[in-house]
Chain A
């Protein structure tokens, strides 16, 4: 009996292992499913919505753009030659480009992308296909990349300007990054070349810092950003600071470290300062609190000249995508509202948070109600303890010509298409 149990156990384990091997078989070509998926590709959605995985195994799929004819461009975070951008056309997936990066936007007849240092644009033909995949124009060059917060996320306005995130290469501008007891640098020099959104012209080549302008500062890192056409304004999602409990247990308990600071949505005007690194926004007290590296204690307020957020979400959820929904496919409450893709937290203890797409209703360019979870269960595990356990993490958002919502996952490279049928 004993031998039999062991043998059977061994056999079933081998079966499991071989299935695992098949699933992990390198950069296997993407699978496109053309039939509706009754399981909604593993996502939990509000009634009447359906989801389908239109591609899988693309690699680390970051931001995404959909053409007026329904082709899908996805920026892949890889340095493998020829694999930087995936193009999904019908059942076919092609790739081109060789540079890591995140940014991906279509505006007019151009596709705009970014590496972690540069911004490119590719001219599109009448079918919105890239005319010359090997020779994009380099629009912006030489942006700072020191690994931390390196994604140069992009959006454009309707006046020929492009907005580029340059994230702070630091947690809180300490003399020694993330070191316990290290003070904040006076007159934080990181803000001169990072920790903000820079504005450049969308049609001029080889621009660098001197050619553009610092549109807004005091933003630690922004990956999700979008231009709101209702009030002609830039909106961004900031990744809030880490380590309040780890570095300052004298002021913050574990619970406070988990819940502070808020992940903030800001509506920006030229010249705005969101206050990083001097302050953070406490969503519970609803106040701008002086950072402990700059003399704060969790209670002292600060940042009199810093703007307030328009929405404060729970801490550490890592908003990586922002999209204002202008389509007509979804019910009326979604029109002009904001979808936010939360990549999911790591800077919490005893349970992580996020790994969903949220929705915020808007009216006249301002939030008009409480945010809610829209698409959930990307992680695919209950009670997630560490981000490595997540099967999928939502990152980029785009709207299709028929009003469908597209979401990328940068763990396995799944592209989800979410539609509404009312059934």
Chain B
């Protein structure tokens, strides 16, 4: 029995090592820049692991907003979001302020980072896309 548990532990350790390797943000310059933006402007509320704060600040792990339509997500960064809007049927008490002071490239980088970190997998966001969405406001 002891052996089974040990082997299981060893196996999970190998798994997490492998997943850590594939997720390493330094591998891609946009991811590395996005991580920096995340740490400066997003981390306090959404937390180091993207898990948010229960009932107060939404998680960024596989939510409809994070993985969904890029223009909607870019607008959340530009305009912020009111606590009266539910996210996957959950309400979060704190308002998100607008981050329209961030440059197109910074928004593209941080969204690319968030969409490909914390267990997420979604397409990258480009500065040109952010520019076009911002121009419509």
| Interface mask (A1-34 → B, CB under 8 Å = 1, otherwise 0) | 0000110111111001000000000000000000
Interface of A is mostly: loop
Alpha-carbon gap, A6 to B12, bound state (A): 10
Q: Which residue of B lies closest to A247 (CB)?
A: B97
Interface pair B95/A177, CB less than 8 Å apart: yes
Contact with B along A338-371 (1 / 0, CB 8 A): 0000000011110000000000000000000000
Stretch among B25-33, B41-49, B66-74, B107-115 lining the A interface? B41-49
Cα distance A93–B7 in the bound complex, in angstroms: 42
Is B119's beta carbon under 8 Å from chain A? no
CB atoms of B97 and A9 under 8 A apart: no
* B5, B52, B83: the one within 8 Å of A147 (CB): B83
A38-46, A156-164, A382-390: which one contacts chain B?
A382-390
User: At the interface, yes or no: B120 with Cβ under 8 Å from chain A?
Assistant: no
Closest approach, in angstroms, between the C-beta of B36 and any C-beta of chain A?
14
User: Is there contact, CB below 8 Å, between A5 and B83?
Assistant: no
Cα distance, A246 to B57, chains bound together (Å) = 15
CB distance from A347 to the nearest CB of B (A): 6
B84 an interface residue at 8 Å Cβ cutoff?
Answer: yes
In the bound complex, residues from chain B placing their C-beta under 8 Å from that of A147 are 83-84, 91-94
Residues of A within 8 A of B17 (CB): none
Across-interface contacts of A177 in B (CB, < 8 A): 95, 97
A178 and B12 contact, Cβ closer than 8 Å, known pairs A8-B7, A146-B83? no
Q: Does A148 belong to the interface (CB within 8 Å)?
A: yes
Smallest CB separation, A247 vs chain B (Å):
9
B34 close to chain A: CB less than 8 A: no
Q: Is the CB of B4 within 8 A of A11?
A: yes
A385→B97 contact, CB < 8 A = no
Question: Which chain B residue shows the least CB distance to A5?
Answer: B7
Query: Interface code B82-112, partner A: CB below 8 Å = 1, 0 otherwise?
Result: 0110000001111111110100000000000
| Residue A150 is within 8 A (CB to CB) of chain B in the complex | yes
B59–A148 CB distance below 8 A: no
Chain A hits for B9, CB < 8 A: 12
Contact at A388–B7, with CB atoms within 8 Å?
no
B11→A5 contact, CB < 8 A: yes
Residues of A within 8 A of B99 (CB): 180
B101 touches A180 (CB 8 A): yes
Shortest C-beta distance, A148 to chain B (Å), equals 5
Residues of B within 8 A of A388 (CB): 47, 49, 51-54, 59
Decide: B83 and A148 in contact? CB cutoff 8 A. Answer: yes
Q: Is A214 an interface residue (CB 8 A)?
A: no
CB distance from B29 to the nearest CB of A (A): 24
Which residue, of A77, A179, A411, has the highest number of chain B Cβ atoms within 10 A?
A: A179
Q: Is the CB of A12 within 8 A of B7?
A: yes
Is the Cβ of B47 less than 8 Å from the Cβ of A385?
yes
Task: Note all chain A residues with C-beta closer than 8 A to B93.
Answer: 147-150
Give bound CA distance, A77 to B8, whole Å. Answer: 38
Q: Is A243 an interface residue (CB 8 A)?
A: yes
B90 to chain A, nearest CB (A): 12
Cβ–Cβ contact A8 & B11, under 8 A:
yes
With contact pairs A148-B95, A386-B49 given, residues A179 and B80 touching in the complex (Cβ less than 8 Å): yes
Residues of chain B lying within 8 A (CB to CB) of residue A348: 44
A residues in contact with B41, CB < 8 Å: 246
The residue on A at minimum CB distance from B100 is A179
Check if A176 is an interface residue, CB within 8 A of chain B: yes
| Chain B minimum-CB-distance residue to A385 | B48
Q: With A5-B7, A148-B83, A388-B49 in contact, do A179 and B97 touch (Cβ < 8 Å)? A: yes
From B57, B91, B93, B99, name the one whose CB has the most chain A CB atoms within 10 angstroms. B93
Give the chain B neighbours of A5 by CB distance below 8 A: 7, 10-11
Residue from the list B8, B47, B56 in contact with A12, Cβ < 8 A? B8
User: What residues of B have a CB within 8 angstroms of the CB of A178 in the complex?
Assistant: 94-97
Docked Cα-Cα span, A210 to B71, in Å, equals 46
- The smallest C-beta distance from B54 to any residue of chain A, in angstroms, reads 6
Report B's interface with A, CB cutoff 8 A: 3-5, 7-12, 41, 43-45, 47-49, 51-57, 59, 80, 83-84, 91-99, 101
Cross-chain pairs A/B with CB under 8 angstroms, 19 sampled: A5-B10, A8-B8, A9-B11, A12-B5, A13-B8, A16-B8, A146-B83, A147-B83, A150-B93, A178-B94, A180-B97, A180-B99, A180-B101, A246-B44, A346-B56, A385-B48, A385-B49, A386-B47, A388-B49
Closest A-B pairs by Cβ, 4 of them? A9-B11, A12-B8, A388-B51, A179-B97
